[in-house]
Amino acid sequence: MGPIDDSVASLVIAQLLFLQSESNKKPIHMYINSPGPSHRHCHPGRGDHEAEETALQ
């Protein structure tokens, strides 16, 4: 998989929300292999973090 752009971030968010709607009692495990952002002011995947927080509540 390549860099996280807006389309990839949207797909991950959609999948997290789907899993959360299926069962909010089952944990969602996600492995992210990343050296970090390539540019400190550019975070297109930031919505993923917000979706994770929503799905984990």
Quick check: is 3 in a domain? yes
Does residue 37 lie in a domain region? no
**Domain total of the chain:** 1
User: For residue 12, is it within any domain?
Assistant: yes
Within a domain: residue 53?
Answer: no
Q: Is residue 21 part of a domain?
A: yes
Which pLDDT band, with edges at 50, 70 and 90, does 9 fall under? confident
pLDDT classification of 34: cutoffs 50, 70, 90: confident
Given pLDDT bands bounded at 50, 70 and 90, which one contains residue 18?
Answer: very high
Whole-model pTM above 0.85? no
> Is 39 inside any structural domain?
no
Q: Is residue 51 part of a domain?
A: no
Domain span at residue 4 reads: 1-31
Burial track 4-43 (b if 16+ CB lie within 10 A, e otherwise): beeeebeebbeebeeebeeeeeeeeeeeeeeeeeeeeeee
CB atoms within 10 A of CB 45: 18
In contact, 51 and 19? CB cutoff 8 Å:
no
Domain for residue 11, yes or no? yes
pLDDT (0 to 100) of residue 2 = 72
